[in-house]
Structure 1
Amino acid sequence: MQNEKAVLNLNSAAWRNLARYGETKGSEGQRRGLFVRRKVIAPLLSLCGRMQQGLFREQVQALSSDAAADRPVVITGHWRSGTTHLHTLLSLDPQFTFPTTASCMNPHAFMLGAGKVAGAAVKRPMDEVMIAGDSPQEDEFALLAMGARSPYEALLYPRHLADALSLADPDDLSEPERRAWQETFLFFTRATSLLGGKRPVVLKSPTHTGRVGTIAALLPQARFVMIRRNPQEVFESTFRMWRSMFDLYALGPPLADDGLRQVILDNRVVMERKFAAAAARLPAGRLAYVDYERLVADPLPELHALYQTLGLDSSFLHTQALADKLERDRSYTARRALPPADWQRRVEKVWTEFF
């Protein structure tokens, strides 16, 4: 196992969730560091979380009756489908607010000031995209850190990726776990809105693709976006993503390459079927589709269609801020690698409906 390069700020509940995955490997020094994280830092983070909840609970709960604030835009789509690119674009629109990297990595105290730390920009481990503390970030990291069951538990224990991915849909959890997930999700989403001037939140996480039904039940005015990209490129890029994330966070033994690819292949089918079932029940005007290739090649028509479908104020699409961002993006070229030939055939067969 490689030396740990990064840590996640997990509270005590999150560590209890991870305890079922078995013994952690590593040197004596690594085990001592892990002991400190579990027995010293985690209780302190739990205490911060309780203080945060106590101070802001009433203000956050009051947003449940605020029709404007309680209408998030939720970006879904498989990993490496362009969710981050779309999230970044929509987060520039001043009618919205969004979770930042700082708030998602420090969710226990982000309302107490920890979410205001910007920090220096760094490259993401799986690509050349630069992120800073104030960059838009996927809220799944916050849910994991706050103790909600999450597929990202596998970041620390890669061999359990298949089991962890089965945690994505709260409807598949035990009743106590489901309630905890719902409460954590609602608090973080509404708290993000509160800090952002009670504006609607733009959320993005591939894990939400299989949760559309749950989120729509919790937030009936929520709007959803599904972004799709060339499946072969998505498959191989997702493989690289998990590998890089495991290198960054793993405490347990690795998952073999073919095993990882098989999990990716199988999981998308489950995720997409859950999405399709929930999408069919959404009212008109609550779901928009975006094609990644068109968004990159000719972004404005794709964005106009999204805004029109969801009934959003499109003033932002005519601003210099967006024009400047799109101009800067022209210099970025996403890596376009394909899987090995035998896996290309499997992807084409199993993911045929996604081509």
Structure 2
Amino acid sequence: MSQPKPAQSYGRDPVHRYPLLAPRFWHGLRMGDWYRLATKNRLRFAPSQFGTATTITSFAAFNSTFAALQRVTHGRRIRLMRPKQAPLFVLGHWRSGTTMLHEMLIRDPQHSYPNTYDCFAPHHCLVTHMWIRPMIGWMLPKKRPMDNVAAGWACPQEDEFALCSLGVPSPYMGMAFPKHGPVNQQYLTLNELTPEEREAWKHALKTFIATISIKDDRRLVMKSPPHTARVRTLLEAFPSAKFLHISRDPLTLYPSTMRLWKSLCDAQSLQGYQADYDWIESYVLDSLVTMYEAFERDRPLIPPGRLAEVRYEDLVADPIGQLRRAYEELDLGGFDEVEPHLADYLGDNRDYKTNRYDLAPEVEARVRERWAPYFERYGYAETATEKG
């Protein structure tokens, strides 16, 4: 990876503090997966995290037990489940507006989505969601730590976290022991995996989608930024899948993504708070390059009528018009029925405030150089930056 100069600050403290008793992603692991994560990192927990590690172990035992129960009660249904419609995948870099787009799409009564509890407990969500979710609802914060987006067990969530809970290697696993730097980078694009590893990844995602489709068989809207680099594999798993891609001004993407990773590492780390993570700037710069090289390479594989694109700035300026256009291009149907629900959502969130950033000139120059193809491809090379 490239080694840029030290980065400026991007508002280190999270917008909302992550509560001490709130579950971490790792509380969703089964015992074997938790053991592998901990021992691979040589049990290097911070003393302040011994209590958290102990609760994760207790959760892992619970997860393993109820995963076995779900296999017994629902295993055959999951294996035989074939969703009526292929998923719609929301693509785009972290902080590009994928969450906002996801929230808008799920206002459609014909759409469903994986919620936070589904992604936290994919092993046993079918047998525990009715009674565990109400019991632990108080544990999650009302807002995400990095922005003003609502959080909660019923809120839509990235299916990448479900893959983590299922024990599938993911770049996100690096948040557990962030002092050790990035991990599982080959799982961003999946291109460097062996055929067996790629099949295992596809099987895990298909199993998760089948699991939540048992609860709700409407079209699933899936959102995980890493999927932007996995179009080829997603098409192999779901040949009829559709894709909606969102882009955003890179000079806003960069500082917002820096803040994202620092906030998540602080909230999810089992190594305690660290003054700085010297790998994050290189990671952020390199990940977009890797992601969009893969996306542009795989774009021609998407059949006509299965990919639509929006820009964040256009979506904010005209959300109903931009989403109507996307519906028409993807033949999603029935936008007139969606529009009232979307209008209600937009009205409820009209006061939402985004974070604001100012880049130092030398940082802006670095971003423009490293991300030049993205600037050109999505029309940001000559435009004034949109701050916030």
- The TM-score, its normalising length taken from structure 2, stands at 0.82
* 1:178-236 deviation line (CA, Å, top 9, x unaligned): 3332222111112212211x111100011111111111101101111111111011110
Alpha-carbon distance in structure 1 between the residues aligned to 2:219 and 2:71: 20
2:108 — aligned with what?
Answer: 93
Alpha-carbon distance in structure 1 between the residues aligned to 2:54 and 2:157: 28
Deviates more, 1:117-126 or 1:279-288: 117-126
2:70 matches 1:52: yes
Classify 1:167/1:52 alpha carbon distance in 2 versus 1 (closer, same or farther; 3 Å).
same
Secondary structure of 1:225's aligned partner: strand
Picking from 260, 267, 278, the partner of 1:241 is: 260
2:307 matches 1:287: yes
Classify 1:317/1:83 alpha carbon distance in 2 versus 1 (closer, same or farther; 3 Å).
farther
Matching of residues 18-37 of structure 1 within 5 Å = 19-27=39-47, 30-31=49-50, 33-35=52-54, 37=56
2:225 matches 1:187: no
- Equivalent residue letter for 1:26: A
Deviates more, 1:136-145 or 1:29-38: 29-38
Matching of residues 101-250 of structure 1 within 5 Å = 101-114=116-129, 117=133, 119=137, 122-196=142-216, 198-250=217-269
- Equivalent residue letter for 1:94: P
Secondary structure of 1:203's aligned partner: strand
Deviates more, 1:153-162 or 1:126-135: 153-162
Question: 1:157 Cα deviation (Å)?
Answer: 1.7
2:369 matches 1:349: yes
* 1:246-269 deviation line (CA, Å, top 9, x unaligned): 111112374845531111001110
Alpha-carbon distance in structure 1 between the residues aligned to 2:201 and 2:130: 21
Alpha-carbon distance in structure 1 between the residues aligned to 2:128 and 2:336: 29
Secondary structure of 1:163's aligned partner: coil
Assess if the C-alpha contact under 8 Å between 1:168 and 1:211 holds in 2: yes
Aligned-pair Cα RMSD in Å = 2.4
**Percentage of pairs with the same residue:** 32
Count of equivalent residues:
348
Matching of residues 263-282 of structure 1 within 5 Å = 263-282=283-302
* 1:22-72 deviation line (CA, Å, top 9, x unaligned): 442311x6336525534x4324312322322332233223333x5x33x00
1:314 — aligned with what?
Answer: 334
- The TM-score, its normalising length taken from structure 1, stands at 0.90
Alpha-carbon distance in structure 2 between the residues aligned to 1:179 and 1:46: 23
Question: 1:174 Cα deviation (Å)?
Answer: 4.3
